[in-house]
Structure 1
Amino acid sequence: MGQTTVVLVLAAVAAQSVGAVTFAVPGKVGTGSYSFAPLDPAPLGVSLEFFTFPSYITNVTATSQCLENWRALTGVWPPIRIGGTTQDRAQYDASTSAYVVYSVAKAADAPMTLTFGPKFMTLAGTYAGSVVLGLNRAKNNIQNTIAAAKVAVAEIKNLLAIELGNEPEYWVKDKQPIASGTWNSATDRASQNDWNIRVGSAIEKTNIIQAGNWNDSPPNWGAAGLIATENATVSQYVRHYAHHNYPGGSIQKLMTHSTTAQNIRAFNADVAAAKAVGKQYVLGETNSVSGGGAAGVSPTFGCALWTMDYTLRATSSNISRIYFHQGTVGNCQYCFWGRYSMGSPYYGAYAAVALMAGAKHIAALDTGTTNYAAYAAFDSSGAPVRVLLYNSDYYAGSGTRSSQSFTLTGLTSASVRAKRLTASSALSRVDQGGDLSFGGQYFNNVTCTVGGTEDIETTVVSGGQATFSLKATEALLVYLQ
């Protein structure tokens, strides 16, 4: 016990002895050595597992308010994507009056087969923000998919795109009909091109397909390879390219900033390939750990910080939108909210949205090689409006909690305000009574309404610079104007 205590104390002292990390805030977009990425009006959204979509909308009280909280910040409803594994188990049934029809042995299970009807599309059409709808390709019944797509186009006025299949690299393992012969990345690319043309022409819509949708790592399953096979006929139907991503790992590994930056760099070539043909690149389905999350990782404050950092690293790397997956209601460790409890990751998502809200560009001010991160958001005139600082040093609740000083230079005001994203440790969980807060406030269980008294910190600017102290496992949003 004594030896462990000494190690913890020495580690804490070492962490505290690190001098202030300094970041120069660019006075305008395009200045300095930073890379500036344009921001979508609502870069952070949610992906709702196909069969659970009606339940999230009609039976989960928090859904509308949690989305409204982001809209209140940005002025734009966040994007949603309806899809996932069960989209390729679902067949359209024009005769059913139900949203979805399926049976499961236990309420926490996902169905192996299901049908859905026109009412499903009508419900999707009630959402005020953009909608990406995932439809079945794996069953190889293109006429059924076209029938569903025609109803989607008619009923969903904010339909942004249609996905044709979810994670096709797993279809051999799942014994899906379309993969009964030779099936690999090359045959999938040919299949996607064929279906994109046939579905797009049948619904008489160009710029309508969200292509890609793999989870396996690029380049074998990736946008660059798909784009290389597309001619002008196919390309006209593609709106953007998507990839899925579940980094996984322990809390400490997941929330470490350099690890997150490295994970996002894996998509650079695909992002560049999409950009070269004038298309956006999105993370169409993503979250911490695949399969609904890991109980010891996904519901924690450390995962909330990962959610924040991951979102900002992605957007600053020219990934236009990030759709965080919400799985089976009542059986989802990484979900942002549920019927009875808020999820810790929602706090990190909210902080990320708060940085980007109304901004036109974002830039990462750090190299992505240390535990310390800084992001700046810029308004329509190109001026910096907010900076988010992140100390990803790991603190699990025992021993001395280290702190790190962050200095911002290039500031023009006499003082700045800030909101702190904090909790007692990386292991804190909302569903276990954890003390998570953003600017002193929290989100109420069941309703997702904001509770508590707002706590604004003020820091004096001297000589164009200000210094802030962040504890290990903490973030700070600094308002420059």
Structure 2
Amino acid sequence: MLKSQHTPSRASSPLAATSTSSAASGPYTGVAAYNPGTLVAPPLPTTSVLTQIPVNLQQTGTVGLSIKQKGRFFGFSVEMSVSNQVLGKNSTLLQVPFLNLMSNIVQRAGSVMIRVGGNSQESAELAPAGSLPDGRVIIKNLTGVTGTTQTPPLEYSIDLLYMMRNISSLVNVRWFLGIPWFITDPFDTKIVTAAPEILGDYLLGLQAGNEPDMYNLHGHRGANYSQFDYEGEIGDFISQVGSTNADPTGQALKSLVVPNIANFQWTPEDVWNTGLVETYTNNIAYLAVEKYPRDNCAAMFGGPGATPVDPQSVLPLYLTHDAHTQLLQPFLNSTTWAQTVGKEFLMFETNTASCGGFLGVSDSFTAALWGIDYALQMANSNFSGAMFHLGGQNVFYNPFTSPPTNESTFHQWSVGPLYYAALAMAEAMGPSNNTQVLNYGVTDLTSYTPIYVGRADVHAVINVAGGPNPASVQVKYMAASSVVQKGNWTWAGQTFGGFFESDGRPMGEEDIKTVQCDTTAQTCTIDVPAPGFALVFLNSDAQAVDTAGGSSMTFPTTAVTKTRNTATVDPSVLATSNGFQMSEHELAGTSKPPSAALHSARVSLFGVGVSVVLGAVVALVGRAL
């Protein structure tokens, strides 16, 4: 699929006719990220929907569990060309809301996985020190845009890497970067040298090519470019790095991410059959693909004969579980094969739709429910992580968006639905790095059950066989008034507000419900309001471990020019946040806490469906949608 590097033109006007605007007067003419337009919630399906769902759990002997998953499963992919808007201005001026947003996830998952790259990495050049004006870390050459997504070539400074390293010193963010792959004779290997030296162990991997199976479509390779040519380029790259001593630490040549295809002209099996992984197994750290369920390129970028997709027509497609199983089916053979060769398999870039997503879908509560379901299905399918993409102001699908530069003194950030999904997923997986996920089957449970119970809430009746049932359970709910609601969604009673309202810290008091169980019948009945998602903790230990990744912490600005919309706390947070263990120090840390416990037992119920999550003690994590 085509991806979302964006231009200021054609931001949202092609979609205006298909949406119902909530603006007070006139059609919206601003950028996509803040478009208030909404869609109409789809009607209930005619198919009978099961609303009384039995969840019969087993203490042992469960078949169909996933591989052990890390808490950081749900990560983010930041388009390199907008990284200075998201991460910070430079290494000394970090974005405080971004730090807070990442801290929320680290508290729950122990760490966060972020890729900085995308189309714009392919021709990005590390500029000589001090050569970029005004202390900038990125400059775009807008006269040299290429491809369907009109990607500008970039120059970036070494300070971008120092900025990333400083972020990791404050919150436990682990990074992926990309090697420029458009020009291969010779390769530009400056990032290969610099990234390991600056990021050290915070560098997870280096992406070797971004969707190479689409290179010839955009004129970056000849018409006959094949997976065998790509395999040869990997060999050429490794040889060049070795002969020029471009990797003095030796880390880069053990950290490659391949093949990063879009399943467009090549299948994963086409690439594996070249012998790439076996030949360069000592150089490859991860196997990866990139996949979006559909694209919005015609609306965003036009072109001869391009017909924009009507968002209203595709909205129901994001409200069924079958959409995920069908999207991931082509990769199941590869996730199994990856285990046999000892490699983790990643969804390196994804979101609701490439080329910016859809108005009213990507920015509504639909995307939050979709993101949770999709992430859990990937975990059950033995992916080892997934990174959800974010771009600039002219897209609908951002998990979070900084305000335009000229509004940053009076506007705050906007937090999208996929960030709520990331929080819920972090809590469902936890910091133990031993969680396993099961797609739990229930007779007569339809694909619609997870979403479509608009007139009747779901009642999940939980029973744990082979052991005592709890006297009570604790439940966190994700809620909204409708699947098309924009902003002000809640997770356990807390919200990040609407457009321009967040400094990265949840607002309101956390509300964790206690549900009494029927000790005679040995069942616990959980009501899940529709639409919604419920995370159920079968005992207090399971709930407590959700904050075992570290104590919550927030950050002050490093330079205060205005006091309005400025998040501030005791500056000692910044002074003590590097390398201290969060479980032992109130103020932050980057190390894995020694007390991070295993999940005892938990159940996650997905918006009128059932998602069972049990941890490593009983070796069961379930998913029933």
With structure 2 as the length reference, what TM-score do the two structures score? 0.65
CA offsets per residue over residues 1-41 of structure 1, 9 Å max, x none?
A: xxxxxx969959x54xx35221222324xx22332420124
SS in 2 for 1:450: coil
Kept in 2: contact 1:240–1:280 (CA 8 A): yes
Question: Which residue is equivalent to 1:283?
Answer: 347
Distance 1:65 1:447 in 2: 7
- Picking from 511, 527, 537, the partner of 1:479 is 537
Once the two structures are overlaid, the 10-residue window that deviates more, 446-455 or 269-278, is: 446-455
Find the counterpart in structure 2 of residue 271 from structure 1.
Answer: 335
Counterpart CA distance in 2 for 1:198 and 1:234 is 14
Q: What CA distance in whole angstroms lies between the structure 2 residues aligned with 1:370 and 1:191?
A: 50
Residue 99 of structure 2 contacts residue 167 of structure 2 at CA under 8 Å; is this kept in 1? no
Match among 294, 304, 307 for residue 358 of structure 2: 294
Question: Counterpart of 2:493?
Answer: 440
Q: 2:158 aligns with which of 100, 103, 118?
A: 118
Query: Post-superposition shift, 1:200?
Result: 6.5
Query: What do the CA deviations read for 1:359-382 (whole angstroms, capped 9, x no partner)?
Result: 412222424997669xxxxxxxxx
Higher relative contact order (CA 8 A, sep 6+): 2
Distance in 2, Cα, partners of 1:153 & 1:160: 9
Q: Which residue pairs with 1:465 in the alignment?
A: 523
Matches of 2:478 and 2:284 in 1, distance apart?
39
Equivalent residue runs for 1:144-183 within 5 Å = 144=188, 146-157=189-200, 158-176=202-220, 179-180=221-222, 182-183=224-225
Q: Which moved more, 1:239-248 or 1:360-369?
A: 360-369
Local SS of the residue matching 1:127: helix
Where 2:354 maps in the other structure, the secondary structure is coil
- The letter for the 1-side match of 2:105 is W
Distance 1:460 1:55, change over 3 A: same
Indicate if the aligned counterparts of 1:214 and 1:244 stay in contact, CA closer than 8 A.
Answer: yes
Aligned partner of 2:506 among 443, 450, 455: 450
1:200-239 maps to which residues of 2 (within 5 A)? 202-203=246-247, 204-205=250-251, 206-216=253-263, 220-222=266-268, 225-226=271-272, 228-230=274-276, 233-239=279-285
| Structure 2 CA distance for partners of 1:35 and 1:10, relative to 1, 3 Å | closer
Matched, 1:58 2:104: no
Contact 2:206 2:257 in 1 (8 A): yes
1:318 Cα deviation after fit: 1.5
Structure 2 CA distance for aligned equivalents of residues 230 and 369 of structure 1: 43
The letter of the residue matching 1:56 is V
Aligned to 1:383: none
Question: What letter matches 2:178 in structure 1?
Answer: G
**For the residues of structure 2 that align with 1:408 and 1:186, how far apart are their CA atoms?**
51
1:332 match: 395
Match of 2:52 among 10, 14, 20: 20
Identify the structure with the greater strand proportion.
1
| Residues 227, 273 of structure 1: 8 Å contact kept | no
Aligned CA distance change for structure 1 residues 10 and 210 (closer, same or farther; 3 Å):
closer
The CA distance in 2 between the partners of 1:104 and 1:45, in whole Å, is 29
The total of aligned residue pairs comes to: 437
User: Out of 253, 257, 279, which is 2:317 matched to?
Assistant: 253
Contact 2:164/2:199, CA 8 A, preserved across alignment: yes
Q: What does residue 386 of structure 1 align with?
A: none
Between stretches 405-414 and 109-118, larger displacement belongs to: 109-118
Is the counterpart of residue 343 in structure 1 residue 416 in structure 2? yes
Match of 1:428 among 477, 482, 485: 485
Once the 2 structures are TM-superposed, how far is the Cα of residue 58 of structure 1 from its aligned partner? Answer: 1.0
SS at match of 1:290: coil
Q: Supply the distance in 2 between the matched residues of 1:464 and 1:454 (Cα, whole angstroms).
A: 29
Distance 2:154 2:423 in 1: 34
> SS in structure 1 opposite 2:376?
helix
Q: Is the 8 A contact 1:39 1:320 kept in 2?
A: yes
Q: Residues 252, 8 of structure 1: CA spacing in aligned structure 2 closer, same or farther, 3 A cutoff?
A: closer
Question: What is the alpha-carbon distance in structure 2 between the residues aligned to residue 125 and residue 32 of structure 1?
Answer: 42
| Structure 2 CA distance for partners of 1:52 and 1:302, relative to 1, 3 Å | same
Match of 1:142, SS?
coil
Segment of structure 1 superposing worse, 90-99 or 221-230:
221-230
Deviation at 1:321, TM superposition (A): 1.1
Contact between 1:293 and 1:332, CA under 8 Å: does it hold in 2?
yes
3-state SS, counterpart of residue 332 of structure 1? coil
Residue 138 of structure 1 corresponds to which residue in structure 2? 182
Deviations 1:287-325 (A, max 9, x none): 111012111310010111011111111112221111111
Kindly indicate whether residue 87 of structure 2 is the aligned counterpart of residue 87 of structure 1: no
Is the 8 Å Cα contact of residues 79 and 116 (structure 2) preserved in structure 1? yes
Q: Please report how far the alpha carbon of residue 447 of structure 1 lies from its aligned counterpart in structure 2 after TM superposition.
A: 0.8
**Amino acid in the other structure paired with 2:227:** S
Name the CA shift for 1:200/1:244 in 2 (closer, same or farther; >3 Å): farther
41-50 vs 455-464, which moves further: 455-464
Return the alpha-carbon distance in structure 1 between the equivalents of residues 229 and 331 of structure 2.
22
> After superposition, what is the alpha-carbon deviation per residue over 1:451-480, rounded to whole angstroms, capped at 9, x for unaligned?
122222222222332122223332110011
Distance 1:187 1:370 in 2: 48
Contact 1:406 1:469 in 2 (8 A): yes
Letter in 2 for 1:401: R
Structure 1, unaligned runs of 5 or more:
1-6, 374-389
Q: Is the CA contact (8 Å cut-off) linking 2:228 and 2:274 kept in structure 1?
A: no
Amino acid at match of 2:88: T
**CA distance in 2 between partners of 1:403 and 1:27 (Å):** 28
Tell whether the 8 Å contact from 1:38 to 1:361 is kept in structure 2 after alignment.
Answer: yes
Once residues 124 and 439 of structure 2 are traced to their aligned partners in structure 1, the CA distance between those partners, rounded to angstroms, is: 44
Task: Please tell me whether the aligned partners of residues 338 and 446 of structure 1 are also in contact (alpha carbons under 8 angstroms).
Answer: no
Aligned-pair CA distance for 1:232: 5.1
Question: Relative to structure 1, is the Cα distance of residues 196 and 409 closer, same or farther in structure 2, using a 3 angstrom cutoff?
Answer: farther
| Residues 191, 10 of structure 1: alpha-carbon distance in 2 compared, 3 angstrom cutoff | closer
Q: Deviations over 1:46-74 (max 9, x none)?
A: 11101111221115543211111101112
State yes or no: 1:403 paired with 2:461: no
Change (3 A) 1:101 1:68: same
Counterpart check, 1:33 vs 2:63:
yes
Deviation of 1:284 after TM superposition, in Å, equals 0.9
Deviations 1:131-181 (A, max 9, x none): 11012111225342x1221011211121111112211122112222xx136
Once residues 474 and 80 of structure 1 are traced to their aligned partners in structure 2, the CA distance between those partners, rounded to angstroms, is: 27
Taking the aligned partners of 1:237 and 1:123, their CA distance within structure 2 comes to 27
The secondary structure found in structure 2 opposite 1:235 is coil
Shift of 1:113: 1.6
The two structures, once aligned, show a CA RMSD in angstroms of 2.8
Say which SS state the counterpart of residue 254 (structure 2) adopts: coil
Measure the CA separation in 2 of the matches of 1:216 and 1:137.
Answer: 18
